[in-house]
Amino acid sequence: MIKLMIAMTLGLTFFINQLSTAQNTNDVDSWKLYKEISGLQVFSKEINCNDNQNGIHQKFIIFQFVNSTSEKMTINWQKETWYDGKCTTCGKPASTENTYILTLAPGESTEASCDNTSMGGLKIFSNFLNTVKGSHLTQFEFKNLSVSFEQ
């Protein structure tokens, strides 16, 4: 009887641990170098963002920007995205929707996560995980990526 209770307790503990992990961000891939320019390193990876309370399960491509220099840098870029093979932002004029500016101090880095919604330029919606309906990200590109340094 005691062995059964111990086994049940361990099983319940394992189940609760797995459940709490499922509610957090799940890394699908490890960081991969996407681009490197003038001391700026841009890494990308896929993550699953699960909002179990609202039943929303999404996949995103997130980015990490790293200033590997000893100078303050300003980064500018336009984000182009293709869903189901069709570019949804190509040929459109630069706007606040697809043009981004970021400033990093020397040695500073920043990255997106499921929680930070204000960093749109560092996160691209890929697809919903709990439905087959809807578009799927098929390609992305940072267009006109440039780095400038403050004197």
pLDDT digits 0-9 by tens, 10-64: 443 443 333 333 444 556 679 999 999 999 999 999 999 999 998 999 999 999 9
129 is a domain residue = yes
pLDDT higher than 60, residue 7:
no
CA distance 109 to 91: 31
CA distance 89 to 81: 6
Question: Structural domain of residue 105, as residue ranges?
Answer: 26-149
CA distance 63 to 121: 8
pLDDT digits 0-9 by tens, 114-127: 986 667 789 999 99
3 is a domain residue = no
* Residue 73: φ, ψ to 5°: -125, 150
20 is a domain residue = no
Mean pLDDT, residues 107-135 taken together: 88
pTM: 0.77
Residue partners of 97: CB distance under 8 A and separation at least 6: 89
Reported as a pLDDT band with limits 50, 70 and 90, residue 72 is: very high
CATH at residue 142: 2.60.40
19 is a domain residue = no
- Asked whether 87 and 94 are in contact (CB, 8 A), the reply is no
CA distance 72 to 63: 19
Residue partners of 146: CB distance under 8 A and separation at least 6: 37, 75, 76, 77
Q: Match 């891939």 to its residue by tokens.
A: 29
- Our count of domains for the chain comes to 1
